[in-house]
Chain A
Amino acid sequence: MITKKDMLKMVRQVYRQSRGFQLKKSCDPDREWLFILFGTVCLLASGVVCTVIAYSRYDALEAQVTDTTSSVVRYDKATIERALERYRDKEAAFAKLEYTTPTATTMTATSSGQTVDDQNPLDQMPPSTSVRVAN
């Protein structure tokens, strides 16, 4: 049999349970505010750090440009002059020979391009002999 005392006990128990989740025990406004403030500060700070890193990284983009080596043809003036000089000499020697009518006393050019007198190797060759020269 349920006594008055039991009834009161049950009512107290139900009443206590009906009070629900006690937020006051787990959530403290001041503490939550501090958490939010701390989180915001952290976010801002990381944002600033990231921005500074990005700025310093991308500010010097021009420094990342590598200088490619150019391949402009080198003009060797001295060699060209020497070559032209050689060809001009050759042309002059040829011009002398071009208008020469061969005679017994004609001077000729040797294989080195120099003119010699009376030193024709053909003269020194005995009859019916052959000579071969190859470069």
Chain B
Amino acid sequence: MATRPLITALSTSILAITSATGALWLAHTNAIEATRLADVLQTLHDEQNTIHDQGVLRELLDTTVTERAELSSYVINGEDETIRFLSRIDNLAAVYGVTLSTDSLTIVPKIRKPYAGLRVVYSFKGSDEAVRVFIGALETIPYSSTVTALSVTKTIDEQTGVTLISGSATLLVSTTQS
């Protein structure tokens, strides 16, 4: 009879402590799950953004096919096109009657991002008009190119009286080669 309230108090205390521990454990588990859920939501959000960006980019690529193809045609792309380009200039010189020799051929890495540069140094010799037209052709050749240096020397053959122009030109062309 005397121990009955004591047992009640003890069992109640045990129940309370157990409940409190259970509640704390639940709260802790909730916090962990919430953090995980927040990470998952963030990943999902990032993934959605990426998919959206990919869609936008794909649409942009689809709508600009023509322009990009045209622009690419003005840049030397690959070894074969480099050879074609150099041959074209050689042929031009031959057509104009200019004696042409290639002094050096170097790749300048990343001159205009994302393109590298192909630097060609030419030596030429020919009549006044032929050299004039040839230099004009070098300047206007339909590629992303610049004549970065030009040196000309004018001489007149005293015996024949013919004016000869000799010189060198440095041409820098954009290329996709690295």
Contact = CB atoms under 8 A, between A and B. Distances in A.
Nearest to B155: A128
B70 A84 contact: yes
Interface residues of B, number: 65
B149 A132 contact: yes
B19 to A, nearest CB: 6
Contacts of A40: 16
A98 B20 CA distance: 92
Given A94-B137, A122-B154, A135-B149, A23 B45 contact: no
A98 B6 CA distance: 113
Contacts of A98: 92, 137
Given A102-B132, A106-B133, A108-B136, A128 B60 contact: no
B77 to A, nearest CB: 15
B139 A75 contact: no
Given A32-B8, A80-B67, A104 B38 contact: no
Nearest to B152: A131
A105 to B, nearest CB: 9
A79 B6 CA distance: 89
A110 B137 CA distance: 10
Interface stretch (B78-86, B116-124, B140-148): B140-148
Contacts of B20: 43
Contacts of B115: none
Contacts of B111: none
A133 B23 CA distance: 85
Interface of B: 2-3, 5-6, 8-9, 12, 16, 19-20, 23, 27, 30-31, 34, 37-38, 41-42, 45-46, 49, 52-53, 56-57, 60, 64, 67, 70-71, 74, 92, 96-97, 127-133, 135-137, 139-142, 144, 146-156, 163, 165, 167, 170
Given A94-B137, A134-B150, A135-B146, 15 more contacts: A23-B2, A32-B5, A35-B9, A36-B8, A54-B34, A58-B34, A66-B42, A100-B133, A102-B133, A109-B137, A122-B165, A131-B150, A131-B151, A132-B149, A132-B151
